[in-house]
Structure 1
Amino acid sequence: MTLKDVAAESGVSVPTASRVLNGGGHVSVETRQRIHEAAARLDFRPNALAQSFALGRSFTVGVLAQKASGNFSTPVITGIIAELSKHDVAVLVYDDEDNVAARPQNLRTLQARRVDGIIVVGDGTDVPFPSISESFQTPVIHVFGVSDNPEDTCFLPDDVQAGRLAAAHLLRQGRTRIAHVTAMEYSRAVQDRLSGFRAELADAGVEIALSEPLFGDWTIPWGYRAGLELLERRGEFDAVFCGNDYIALGVTRAFEQAGVRVPEDVALVGYDNWSKYSGSPDRFLTSVDPQLNSLGRVAAEALLADDPAARQPGVSYQPCVLVPGMSSGAVASDGLGAIALR
């Protein structure tokens, strides 16, 4: 069916039908409803190219990724694409591949494509991106990464809340001597999670075990070395909040080899909830989920919003959730015990 058929069915001119279906037109509520009902009955599908010329829009959004294949970037981008596709908006993904030299060319390409907006997807929050907002007349959103311009709009997981969630969960499990093993002390994510963790413990009148966190990196080998260090102070803790799931798995390996049972002897909580991406059914690791897919959807919603207030300057923090597992005693092991990491 064509636009002409919709106009005839609803008893209006073709230009009027076109304007109404494109969101404009000064007509009565009754006429507008009649046109939309006619379009629905006739299963009318507007020509995207014709619409883009009529409205001066491309119905295309550019996604500029620091590293599109990164562990964090992939679920964020998936969420962005899912949300934009619901609105029939196409997505062009340009990947820096973690190479800063690739960004200028990607920016020039996006400028040439005249996209309706840009979503910059980071692979972490430790190093701010140089702002690109001045290079585009259309909205620019940052997600899972921050701009060096405080006026830019950025969406991040609420890592302060994540630390609070981990501490509150372990306290509810009856643990009161909770250690913290995490990554680099300079990391924004590390400091935010630590801040929330300390605050929740303080609210309960509890101090962090071992006096201070153990700082390292985000890897399983660091978690293993930290686990060995913890074993030298075995009587000083009954739970560990780990900065991410990789660290938690390394700590588990060290404990397993020493005959320390998880969760019977020591409860563990991680961060990332990677098991939902791996498809692992064992529910071993209790973990805080930053909901990266939802984070991407929220960024896309903000970009598409008619109200500019949806794109407030600064950082907007999105909620995390805690996913219970066996490692903290929140889910029964059914005899499985700790998984063997070999």
Structure 2
Amino acid sequence: MAIDRAPTLTDVARLAGVSLTTASKAINGKPRVSDSVRARVLKVAKELSYSPNPMARSLHTGRSGFVALIIIDTLSQRWAVPALLGAESALSQIDLSLVAADARGEARRLNELARVFQARKVDGLLVLGDNNVVTPSLAGIVSVPVVYLHGDTGDTRDVVHLPDDRGGIVQVVEHLVASGRTRVAFVGGPAGVRATVERARGLQDRLDELGRPVVGGVSRCGPWSQRWGRTAADQLLQEHPDVDAIVCASDQIAFGVVQAVQASGRIVPQDVAVTGFDNWLAFATETEPALTTVDMNLADLGASAVRDLFSIIDGTSVGRGVRYHDTTLVVRGSAP
């Protein structure tokens, strides 16, 4: 069973016929592993001379057991925290540790941090971006494995994990149509940013397929703010008083839209249904009624990015390009 290089946890898992998570639990004495499986994993680990001790393994394989996460901009920490928690949970299951740093929205600092972490011998890098703007690629900057999440680099050589914004909005449209809504409008975020563009296209394409118009079009764009939501809804209701559903590109915008609809004397959802996007609980559960919205499942996104990164570190090809992850429609009182 000997192999011609330093054994890895992937080797142990493959030869024992179990998952990486199960192999890690068995080797580290964690619960929820049967005695027979644990014995099989430990037998394979012994035959391969695989060491579960981090220091010994580091000397044997040249790995540090650490992965660095660089957050492009902590001003977007609403998205960073759940993705980080998902990544950390996945890393702990495969016996890796996480260190993090903030690039403060600066490409130069991102490059500097990447070089510093590479010099400190981290095994790989996770780069957590902003779904609104392009994430600078580290291709050619560092040689350690890099996986990006919640921000596209535009470089086809990179491995990128993104929420399926279009798919999420399609879920919203189909839910509204199934509930009998026929006059659907859209209020977007900043014009030209990826999240707005993808969500607007998803709505437009699905309504086109259903043979229905987008009331007022998809070019009604503005800041990610409650104030913009109120302003946009006021305009929309004046121009199209028969609208019966307003799809918003974010929960923050939807919060303001609900306020404006109610201020006009209409009732949410009886007269006008309102939906958001993000499942940001500070807004989604604080409206009255609470918002129907789309959860991007960011913890799962972070965990999936970690699994790809670990495979690359372990010498397994995962391909290149963007992986789009399913979102979840969360139905609440604003659009039951």
TM exceeding 0.5: yes
- 2:285–2:291 Cα contact (<8 Å) kept: no
Cα deviation for residue 33 of structure 1 reads: 5.8
Alpha-carbon spacing, 1:39–1:155, altered in 2? closer, same or farther (3 Å)? closer
Q: Within 5 Å, give how 1:33-72 maps onto structure 2.
A: 36=42, 46-68=52-74, 70-72=77-79
Deviations 1:121-152 (Å, cap 9, x if unpaired)? 102242x2332132333311110112242211
State the partner residue of 1:77: 84
State the partner residue of 2:129: 122
Cα deviation for residue 326 of structure 1 reads: 0.2
Alpha-carbon spacing, 1:249–1:23, altered in 2? closer, same or farther (3 Å)? closer
State the partner residue of 1:316: 323
State the partner residue of 1:327: 334
Q: Within 5 Å, give how 1:191-340 maps onto structure 2.
A: 191-275=197-281, 284-305=290-311, 306=314, 308-310=316-318, 312-328=319-335, 330=336
- 1:164–1:196 Cα contact (<8 Å) kept: yes
Unaligned residue ranges in structure 2 (runs of 5+): 17-37
How big is the alpha-carbon RMSD for the aligned residues of Structure 1 and Structure 2? 3.1
Q: Does 1:96 align with 2:103?
A: yes
Q: Within 5 Å, give how 1:176-187 maps onto structure 2.
A: 176-187=182-193
Alpha-carbon spacing, 1:294–1:107, altered in 2? closer, same or farther (3 Å)? same
Alpha-carbon spacing, 1:133–1:86, altered in 2? closer, same or farther (3 Å)? same
State the partner residue of 2:112: 105
Pick one of 146, 154, 157 that aligns with 1:140. 146
Alpha-carbon spacing, 1:219–1:21, altered in 2? closer, same or farther (3 Å)? closer
Pick one of 151, 155, 166 that aligns with 1:149. 155
Deviations 1:59-109 (Å, cap 9, x if unpaired)? 111111112462112211111111111111011111112234432431232
Alpha-carbon spacing, 1:23–1:182, altered in 2? closer, same or farther (3 Å)? closer
Determine the C-alpha separation between the residues in 2 that align with 1:327 and 1:171. 15
Deviations 1:40-74 (Å, cap 9, x if unpaired)? 9xxxx932111111112111111111124621122
SS of 1:180's equivalent?
A: strand
- 2:284–2:290 Cα contact (<8 Å) kept: no
Alpha-carbon spacing, 1:318–1:307, altered in 2? closer, same or farther (3 Å)? farther
Deviations 1:151-209 (Å, cap 9, x if unpaired)? 11111111111121111111011001000001122112211111111122122221111
State the partner residue of 2:93: 86
Alpha-carbon spacing, 1:141–1:24, altered in 2? closer, same or farther (3 Å)? closer
Deviates further, 60-69 or 112-121:
60-69
Give % identity: 31
Determine the C-alpha separation between the residues in 1 that align with 2:259 and 2:283. 21
Cα deviation for residue 37 of structure 1 reads: 5.3
Q: Which amino acid is the alignment partner of residue 173 of structure 2?
A: A
| TM-score w.r.t. length of structure 1 | 0.80
| TM-score w.r.t. length of structure 2 | 0.81
Unaligned residue ranges in structure 1 (runs of 5+): 1-14, 331-342
Determine the C-alpha separation between the residues in 2 that align with 1:259 and 1:172. 25
SS of 1:215's equivalent?
A: coil
- 1:122–1:146 Cα contact (<8 Å) kept: yes
Determine the C-alpha separation between the residues in 2 that align with 1:111 and 1:252. 48
Find runs of 4+ consecutive structure 1 residues off by over 4 angstroms. Answer: 19-25, 32-35, 37-40, 276-283
Q: Which amino acid is the alignment partner of residue 98 of structure 1?
A: G
